[in-house]
Structure 1
Amino acid sequence: MRGAYKVLASVLAVQIVVQAAAMVWAIAGLYNFVDGGGTFDKSLMEEGSESPFPEVAGFAVHFMNGALIVVVALVLLIVSFFAKVPKGVPAAGAIFGLALLQFALGIAGHSLPFAGMLHGVNALLLFGATLHATRLPGKATTVDQTHAAPARV
């Protein structure tokens, strides 16, 4: 279970990198589209409309992967109760809480631009928390020298 904990935390870190990459890909495509004379409005994002530029897929990737992050964070939290990783449950709980907050800020950012800014800041906190969690299982493998048997010569 310790291995599962580490893998799940690592998967989350990779997913967060994918989130950033997908968003920048979409925004760069949007910039090129508008710079080339295109007009971007709500009608271009509605179902059934033709894709105005190929990078628009980055927005969909960002949304779907964002929802998946919450699911993986929940699975990490559940696994943390069985993995016996020191400080693993609080770390997984923090990750799940940050993931829920991230999803809520992402949705709120559509009507409150300030929430969009907080979405970016929280992404960095979530990424840091996942990187921290990937290191926790390895820390428990060291031998506590205060309780180690004396060496025999």
Structure 2
Amino acid sequence: MKRAYIVLARLIAALVVVQVAAIAWGTFAMLHDIDNGAVITSDTRNFAQSLHANVGYIVIPAVALIFFVVSFFLKIPGAVKWASIVFGLVALQGILAGLSFAAPVVGALHGLNALAIAGMSAAAAQRLRTTAPHDASSAETPAEYAETKARTRRFGRGRASV
């Protein structure tokens, strides 16, 4: 379960990167079409904009929901908290997207919230990766954890003593 949690958290961050690329591609494709004489209406969509919409409204929320559910099966402090934050930010992202059509300035918040989703999901994966296991389903043994902790003290955080 720990590995699933980490993979799902990293997948959410990666999907946000896909979102950024898709909306940039869609915007520049639309500008290219305008430069070539196309008339853009409210019904105009290109592949990249459709990709952005589908990944944003279907794929990321589904992965975030699975991530949230998986967090309850871990017996590691903070796992549910971090998954809840990511899930809440994903829900807020959908709301901001909808509001952006009525008030385009809200689109800036939509973009900033996307960065928050990527950052928090990556942080959730990293925090769990460096957290002590508390359940039998974890792949890391207590001896492996102690070795990792000792190595972190020696090399990871400056001048910490052993």
TM-score of the two chains, using structure 1 as the length reference:
0.82
- Give me the whole-angstrom Cα distance separating, in 2, the residues matched to 1:103 and 1:60: 15
- Give me the whole-angstrom Cα distance separating, in 1, the residues matched to 2:104 and 2:47: 22
User: Are residues 1:38 and 2:35 paired?
Assistant: no
Q: Secondary structure at the match of 2:102?
A: coil
User: Are residues 1:59 and 2:52 paired?
Assistant: no
For residues 1-153 of structure 1, the aligned pairs below 5 Å read 1-45=1-45, 56-67=46-57, 68-141=59-132, 142-143=145-146
Residue 11 of structure 1 and its aligned partner are, at CA, apart by: 0.9
TM-score of the two chains, using structure 2 as the length reference:
0.78
- CA gap of 1:43–1:124, structure 2 versus 1, over 3 A, is closer
Aligned length, in residue pairs: 135
- Give me the whole-angstrom Cα distance separating, in 2, the residues matched to 1:103 and 1:138: 29
- Give me the whole-angstrom Cα distance separating, in 1, the residues matched to 2:113 and 2:77: 24
String of CA shifts for 1:16-35, please: whole Å, max 9, x gaps: 00000000010010111111
What amino acid maps onto 2:113 in structure 1?
Answer: N
Q: Which residues of structure 2 form unaligned runs of 5+?
A: 133-144, 151-162
Q: Secondary structure at the match of 1:109?
A: helix
Aligned sequence identity (%):
33
Residue 84 of structure 1 and its aligned partner are, at CA, apart by: 2.5
